[in-house]
A and B are shown apart, each in its own frame.
Chain A
Amino acid sequence: MSATDAALAARDPYHVGHAGESQARGHGAGGPASKRIVVGYGFWLFLLSDIVIFSCLFASYTVLAQATAGGPSGKQIFDLKRVALETACLLASSFFCGTASIAVARRSQLWTQVALIATGLLGLAFLFLEASEFAALHAAGDGPRRSAFLTGFFTLVGCHGLHVSVGLLWLGTMMAQLFAKGFRADIRRRFLCFTMFWHFLDIIWVAIFSLVYLVGTKL
């Protein structure tokens, strides 16, 4: 038992964790956290704020879901087969994004780029499916101006699609940067943020899939 451990035990004899003197960096007494922790933590906070934006959109969609104003309801327009395909694309792309993190950890430029291309292509496929759904609805006269329900639907799902598009732009930039700059510490931190963002899009999609499409086809 080291001296600090002994001191800790004296202050906190029953190990209830209220000694408040953790020596780990970034916790209590240990001084500033490492850059990787600071950047990751900040990006987590950003994702939380983004989740708040989505929660507002979910709330407004839910409020407006019954306000079809004589237009179609979710049951009439949702195609679960297409949605299943979209989900598969997005989850698979997240898998490849995870593979890319392993490749980065092993400093393999080739596998990093391959995995990121796969991530991007699946993301594009998802976007294509979503765009075709939107285009079909629009062509049938069931665009966002038709009813408050469709307004809420297009905004919520479209906002997620917009995030995927921005993610793809970031992905391309990230690939170019990994290629040009290699696995420098700051580039790896940025890549960490990118992977967090990409997985976060999945979390939102799971909520959309459940709340909009699954519930929507039942009601």
Chain B
Amino acid sequence: MTLFGKLSWSAIPFNQPIPLVAAAIVLVVILGVLVWVTLKGWVPYLWKEWITSVDHKHIGVMYCLLGLVMLLRGFIDALMMRSQQALAFHAPGYLPPEHYDQIFSAHGTIMILFAAMPLIIGLMNFVVPLQLGVRDVAFPTLNSVSFWLTATGALLVNVSLVVGEFSRVGWLPFPPLSELRYSPGVGVDYYLWAVQISGVGTLLTGINFVTTILKTRTYGMTYLRMPIFCWTALAACMLIIAAFPVLTATLAMLTLDRYLGFHFFTNMAGGNAMMFTNLIWAWGHPEVYILVLPSFGVFSEVISTFSSKPLFGYRSMVIATLFICLVSFCVWLHHFFTMGAGGDVNAAFGIATSIIAVGTGVKMYNWLFTMYGGRIRYETPMLWALGFLITFITGGMTGVMLAVPPADFLLHNSMFLVAHFHHVIMAGVIFAVMAGIAYWFPKAFGFRLDEGWGKATFWFAFVGFYVTFMPLYVLGFLGMTRRLQHYDVAEWRPWILAAMVGVLILLCSAICQVMQLVVSIRHREALRDLTGDPWDGRSLEWATPSPPPAFNFAHLPHVDNLEAYWNVKQRARDEQTLGRAAPYEDIEMPRNSPTGFVCAFFATFIGFALIWHIWWLMILGLAGAYATFVVFAWRDVPEYVIPAEEVARSDRANRAIRQEALLGGRTS
């Protein structure tokens, strides 16, 4: 029993140059940013407006930022894996096996849990309250806690780069390999606590948004008037509430096995490793839909807006969403048909898996018919949506191939599978996030993103995707299994090199994306969105100024139709008046609170202490977290008041702009 548990200087990989150099660069960048921010005197601003903010719009932006940074980190892992395989033909390559294993584990963990999830949740945070016509989510401080706990998880994953090691057992820690006996290092523990802590954050988000969507919608916003993105967010958050506790429980069981010698999944004393596989996929499959349903929502909004038409088959879209939501819990076994559950069980799950594609098929037709006869504008968000439509169909088809158990016995664990899930997740989720960011960026920041760089980003991503992942399907048919550190089959070589070329094209896309942000920020005055409605939008978020004020809406809007803002615009044009503004009143808004940040501060120490068995630090962290909650619970003034005059000033400016845009400046 030492002061620092298992932690010692040997935990820092002085003998491995790659992680050390990478970590040094990251540290220098972080320190540089910190010094720059401090010298510029921005720390009070950042603390007040962002770090302690409970405003859903700011939290949404921070989620997206976290997601983009981690997307980049995960992409660097991808570059390393592709280049390792390109080099490691009859050769060891440049990554030793124990390092390569950490990279593919980190890549999967980061991309799903710390890139895709924050990006999707970030979009939901920003958009859902605006679309529902409300001023914030149901529990604003809890929302901040959610974000910072997610950030804690991401931080722990990155700390593992320098202090100790990351998991080597894949993005899901399957026992018995992940048990203490076969993985004695701290890698799996980093995985467990990072995912566990961020998982709590995600669960709280789910609770927060289901409550927001079901209980706080504005006047007249009945279920069948909610924009489709809200429906998909609702479905995803219901899945979070039902699925994430399964993840928590399953990882807790593995943790007990590792820390206290329990026998849930061990080979000894009656433990059952296949129980882990079942439990983890009971979370893992719904997780796929937690990501992809809001993505479908984004595409629905984008396709309808840029086709200048209402969404085709809104009700069938809602039904399809909820159908997928339900059936996503009935297909988990298709991830391990090879377990040997028997023909009947495999057939049942194979059929259920094929059936779930029907819901997606309904959506595909709805999107096509939405475009049919519309006046389509090919701006960046729409390009991503079109790229998705073309790509996702074939990705779904390879999924149906995998859903056939006899075929799956051949394709299981092969590169075909790797190609399939990248196909659907990249075309489904990443394209959606890019479309969503391009679409809602002007709302969030008040200026548009540069179209030229945006289109370049799309085309590089689109082409790069095909060049990278189509060869992986071929490699699957040629019998290449996933996660190979080196190989000596000559037939694979050209396809692996092709995939390497593809990933370099994707790198061009990433560079274009960064360039787009830089160029747009530099030219923000020229790209300024003055109207608050840059795309001729149809739902309520476009009724607010860009960026929206803290209180979103001066008056909670009264909704009487599915396309709330579109109808307001139509009526204003028909009647040649915006209508009279109701009298302005004081608005109560939740006060900013450092609770989330402080909580995450302690959570980071608790996680780190548990990973390294530093028990005193863990107890200290728990006491600190409890004290934080008590301090928060003891607050007397939870809200602050925005005076009516300020509300009036903001709203009059907004109305003047709408007047100008809709009625050409005529006074009513």
Query: Footprint of B on A, CB under 8 Å?
Result: 20-21, 26, 28-33, 37-38, 41-42, 45-46, 48-50, 52-53, 56-57, 59-60, 63-64, 67-69, 71, 144-149, 151-152, 154-155, 169, 173, 177, 180-181, 186, 190
Contacts and interface: CB of A to CB of B under 8 A. Distances in A.
A37 B264 CA distance: 40
A63 B274 CA distance: 11
Interface string B209-234: 01100111111111110000000000
A29 B633 contact: no
A49 B283 CA distance: 13
B263 A53 contact: no
A21 B222 contact: yes
Nearest to B629: A173
Given A49-B244, A56-B245, A177-B633, A37 B215 contact: yes
Given A28-B222, A32-B134, A32-B215, A42 B263 contact: no
Contacts of B246: 52-53, 56
Q: Select the residue from A42, A50, A147, A186 with max chain B CB neighbours within 10 A.
A: A42
B130 to A, nearest CB: 15
Interface stretch (B58-66, B254-262, B299-307, B340-348): B254-262
B576 interface: no
21 contacts: A26-B216, A28-B222, A29-B219, A31-B556, A32-B215, A38-B215, A42-B138, A53-B248, A64-B271, A64-B275, A69-B268, A69-B270, A144-B256, A144-B261, A144-B263, A151-B271, A154-B262, A155-B262, A155-B264, A173-B633, A177-B634
A210 B215 CA distance: 35
B249 A38 contact: no
A28 B268 CA distance: 55
Nearest to B132: A32
Contact of B269 (A42, A146, A177): A146
B626 A169 contact: yes
B222 A32 contact: no
Q: Select the residue from A50, A56, A67, A145 with max chain B CB neighbours within 10 A.
A: A56
B208 A151 contact: no
A70 to B, nearest CB: 9
A149 B270 CA distance: 8
B630 interface: yes
Q: Select the residue from A144, A154, A177 with max chain B CB neighbours within 10 A.
A: A144
Contacts of A149: 270
B253 interface: yes
A37 B263 CA distance: 43
A115 B268 CA distance: 48
Given A32-B217, A148-B271, A177-B634, A42 B207 contact: yes
Given A29-B219, A32-B216, A155-B256, 10 more contacts: A21-B222, A31-B219, A31-B556, A37-B215, A41-B211, A49-B206, A52-B246, A63-B272, A173-B630, A177-B634
Contact of A29 (B210, B222, B556): B222
B262 A145 contact: yes
Contacts of A190: 633
A17 to B, nearest CB: 13
Nearest to B559: A29
Nearest to A177: B633
B218 A45 contact: no
A60 B216 contact: no
Contact of B279 (A33, A41, A56, A145): A56
Interface string B169-212: 00000000000000000000000000000000001001110110
Nearest to B207: A45
A53 B264 contact: no
Contacts of A181: 634, 636
B400 interface: no
B82 to A, nearest CB: 37
B241 interface: yes
Interface string B138-171: 1100000000000000000000000000000000
B387 to A, nearest CB: 36
Nearest to B264: A151
Contacts of A57: 249
A134 to B, nearest CB: 13
B219 A30 contact: yes
A152 B264 contact: yes
Contacts of A30: 219
Contacts of B211: 38, 41-42, 45
Given A38-B138, A56-B246, A67-B270, A31 B218 contact: yes
